[in-house]
């Protein structure tokens, strides 16, 4: 049984899978099968398999597709957009997939486009991913020449044009409505929902935006079926996932593993555990906008709902590991600086709230804070929480702050009572200048 559908073609590091090799390995079989199916059946298959959005939100992909109006009265023009704007701190999974096996993404996109009736598909890729963008462009040319995509696809009158849109470095573009604005050549700010993009998205037309890894799940699911897909998972969710670990572990990296793989297994077995002399203090399960969890949560399986119930989110599934000799306050300050910089400025709690949070955290880190500043920081973070903002950026930024205040309370207090950062500054490279 195939157990590594996302990475089975990935060979020697640094060399992309060519169309020849992709076809030899059974590539585009899912696409050929999809062309014999009805769009409704494809959507039902994806929905029944329970494929969940790998960008971090975990929404049922088939359900998302089903919201696209497809009756006679529906607008004839629809779009598929692949969100390849991977910019979440600590996340490095989509780069791996696009650089090494670009055809897998194209095949997934072709099936998705066929299912929702989109004849134009965009890959919205972050401008820093030069190699991935170049390899995708080559792959599109290869697939077009072989009549797998384009205006003359073999044995169908369905047409599908691809375009790689290179962005230029802006975190908010990962938010799907900001991404749509950016693709239209507008400033990348989120749109109010409803209407949802599935009904009115790019240029006002029905649009589905899916993450790279989500789309890479589709070809084998269509080829091998729902039961196979569900059987891959070890826990509640089906399929496999690119999990990863970074930080001061022995063997940082990314691995395709079953959904539901326990966090301990990822960190201790695949990442080789902590570097010598270090202990694990906590971890961000899936990117900078997920809540910190502590060592007591290591046995949690990586499933969307399980990690959610534990008070965090699985997010992108690439774990950032915090060791016991790195200052947690410094790490939260670093993350908050990132979010403050990347706030698009569209709504007040985010635009104004994040710089305040940075100031408070910097004061704490430098030992210049008063005890009441902790409550102020907590209140400030809560004000950036869900329901107060246009999009998920500020609530995501609040997640590591609020969870760190709980999990590393002693560290925050120590900074204040000692009037300095208790960690070894030279060794830890804490920013001295605020």
Partner 1 sequence: MSSTIAADTIEVMEQQDTDPRSAGRSLTAEEKRDIDREFSHYEDRDSVALEALRVVQKHRGWISDDTLYAIADYLAVSPTQLESIATCYQLIFRQPVGKEVIFLCKSSSCWIMGCEKLQRHLEEQLGIRPGQTTPDGIFTLLETPCLGDCDKAPVMMVGEEMHRHMSADKLDEFILEKKKHHADQSAD
**Could you say whether residue 190 binds partner 1 (CB under 8 A)?**
no
Residues whose CB is less than 8 angstroms from the CB of residue 33 and which lie 6 or more positions away in sequence, other chains included = 222, 223
The two three-digit tokens of residue 11, written as one number: 């060979």
The two three-digit tokens of residue 114, written as one number: 């066929």
* CB closer to partner 1 out of 17 and 318: 318
Residues whose CB is less than 8 angstroms from the CB of residue 374 and which lie 6 or more positions away in sequence, other chains included = 364, 405, 412, 413, 416
**Could you say whether residue 317 binds partner 1 (CB under 8 A)?**
no
Q: Choose the binding region for partner 1 from 13-21, 42-50, 208-216, 334-342 (rule: CB under 8 A).
A: 334-342
Closest CA to 318 of 9, 54, 12, 52: 54
Q: Which of 3, 38, 186, 410 binds partner 1 (CB under 8 A)?
A: 186
Distance CA 71, CA 187 (A): 33
Q: Which of 24, 141, 184, 375 binds partner 1 (CB under 8 A)?
A: 184
**Could you say whether residue 284 binds partner 1 (CB under 8 A)?**
yes
**Could you say whether residue 244 binds partner 1 (CB under 8 A)?**
yes
Phi, psi for 186 (deg, rounded to 5) = -100, 170
Q: How far is the CB of 320 from partner 1 (least distance, A)?
A: 5
* CB closer to partner 1 out of 22 and 346: 346
Number of residues that bind partner 1 (CB under 8 A): 60
Q: Which of 203, 386, 419, 424 binds partner 1 (CB under 8 A)?
A: 203
**Could you say whether residue 193 binds partner 1 (CB under 8 A)?**
no
Q: Choose the binding region for partner 1 from 4-12, 209-217, 249-257, 369-377 (rule: CB under 8 A).
A: 249-257
Q: Which of 9, 17, 83, 167 binds partner 1 (CB under 8 A)?
A: 167
* Structural contact between residues 249 and 273, judged by C-beta atoms closer than 8 angstroms: yes
**Could you say whether residue 95 binds partner 1 (CB under 8 A)?**
yes
**Could you say whether residue 290 binds partner 1 (CB under 8 A)?**
no
**Could you say whether residue 94 binds partner 1 (CB under 8 A)?**
yes
* CB closer to partner 1 out of 32 and 165: 165
Q: Which of 215, 267, 344, 354 binds partner 1 (CB under 8 A)?
A: 344
Q: Per-residue contact track with partner 1, 74 to 93, x per CB under 8 A?
A: ------------xxxxxxx-
Distance CA 64, CA 209 (A): 9
* CB closer to partner 1 out of 148 and 327: 327
Distance CA 110, CA 415 (A): 54
Distance CA 148, CA 108 (A): 12
DSSP 258: E
**Could you say whether residue 105 binds partner 1 (CB under 8 A)?**
no
Q: Per-residue contact track with partner 1, 127 to 156, x per CB under 8 A?
A: xxxxx-------------------------
Q: How far is the CB of 236 from partner 1 (least distance, A)?
A: 27
| Bond from prior residue into 145 cis (ω within 30 degrees of 0) | no
Torsion angle, CA of 243/290/314/176, rounded to 10 degrees?
Answer: -90
**Could you say whether residue 165 binds partner 1 (CB under 8 A)?**
yes
Q: Per-residue contact track with partner 1, 349 to 388, x per CB under 8 A?
A: ----------------------------------------
The per-residue DSSP string of 356-396 comes to: HHHHHHHHHHTT---THHHHHHHHHHHHTSTTSSSSSHHHH
* Structural contact between residues 163 and 122, judged by C-beta atoms closer than 8 angstroms: yes
**Could you say whether residue 216 binds partner 1 (CB under 8 A)?**
no
Q: Which of 45, 200, 246, 297 binds partner 1 (CB under 8 A)?
A: 246
Q: How far is the CB of 203 from partner 1 (least distance, A)?
A: 5
The per-residue DSSP string of 301-350 comes to: B--HHHHHHTTS--TTSEEEEEETTS-HHHHHHHHHHHHHHH--S-SHHH
Q: Choose the binding region for partner 1 from 38-46, 234-242, 313-321, 403-411 (rule: CB under 8 A).
A: 313-321
Q: Tell me the torsion sign for CA atoms 281, 54, 133, 222.
A: positive
Q: Is 92 helix (H, G, I), strand (E, B) or coil?
A: coil
Closest CA to 342 of 89, 18, 49: 89
Residues that bind partner 1 (CB under 8 A): 86-92, 94-95, 126-131, 163, 165-172, 182-188, 203, 244-248, 252-254, 284, 288, 318, 320-323, 326, 330-331, 334-335, 337-338, 341-342, 344, 429-431
């Amino acid at each position: 049984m195939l157990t590594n559908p996302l990475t089975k073609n990935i060979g020697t590091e640094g060399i992309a899978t060519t169309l020849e090799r992709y076809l030899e390995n059974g590539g585009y079989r899912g696409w050929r099968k999809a062309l014999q199916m009805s769009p409704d059946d494809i959507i039902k298959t994806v929905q029944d398999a329970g494929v969940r959005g790998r960008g971090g939100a975990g929404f049922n992909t088939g359900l998302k597709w089903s919201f696209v109006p497809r009756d006679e009265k529906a607008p004839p023009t629809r779009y598929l957009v692949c969100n390849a704007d991977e910019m979440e701190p600590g996340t490095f999974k989509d780069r791996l997939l696009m650089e090494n096996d670009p055809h897998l993404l194209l095949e997934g996109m072709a099936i998705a486009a066929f299912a929702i009736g989109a004849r134009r598909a965009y890959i919205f890729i972050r401008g820093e991913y030069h190699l991935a963008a170049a390899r995708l462009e080559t792959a599109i040319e290869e697939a077009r020449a072989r009549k797998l995509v384009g205006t003359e696809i073999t044995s169908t009158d369905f047409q599908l044009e691809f375009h790689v849109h290179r962005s230029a470095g802006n975190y908010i573009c990962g938010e799907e409505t900001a991404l749509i604005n950016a693709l239209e050549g507008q400033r990348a700010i989120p749109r109010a929902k409803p209407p949802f993009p599935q009904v009115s998205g790019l240029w006002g037309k029905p649009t589905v935006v899916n993450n790279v890894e989500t789309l890479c799940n589709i070809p084998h699911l269509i080829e091998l079926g729902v039961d196979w897909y569900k059987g891959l998972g070890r826990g509640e969710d089906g399929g496999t996932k690119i999990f990863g670990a970074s930080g001061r572990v022995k063997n940082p990296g990314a691995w395709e593993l079953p959904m539901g793989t326990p966090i301990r297994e990822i960190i201790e077995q695949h990442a080789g555990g902590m570097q010598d002399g270090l202990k694990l203090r906590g971890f961000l399960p899936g990117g900078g906008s997920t809540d910190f969890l502590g060592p007591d949560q290591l046995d949690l399986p990586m499933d969307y709902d399980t990690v959610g119930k534990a008070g965090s989110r699985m997010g992108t599934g690439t774990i950032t590991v915090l060791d016991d000799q790195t200052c947690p306050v410094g790490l939260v300050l670093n993350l908050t600086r990132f979010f403050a910089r990347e706030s698009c400025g569209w709504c007040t709690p985010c635009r104004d709230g994040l710089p305040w949070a940075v100031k408070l955290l910097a004061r704490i880190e430098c030992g210049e804070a008063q005890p009441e500043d902790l409550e102020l920081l907590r209140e400030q973070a809560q004000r950036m929480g869900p329901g107060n903002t246009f999009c998920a950026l500020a609530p995501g930024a609040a997640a590591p702050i609020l969870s760190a205040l709980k999990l590393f309370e002693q560290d925050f207090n120590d900074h204040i009572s000692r009037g300095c950062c208790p960690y070894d500054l030279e060794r830890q490279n804490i920013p001295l200048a605020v």
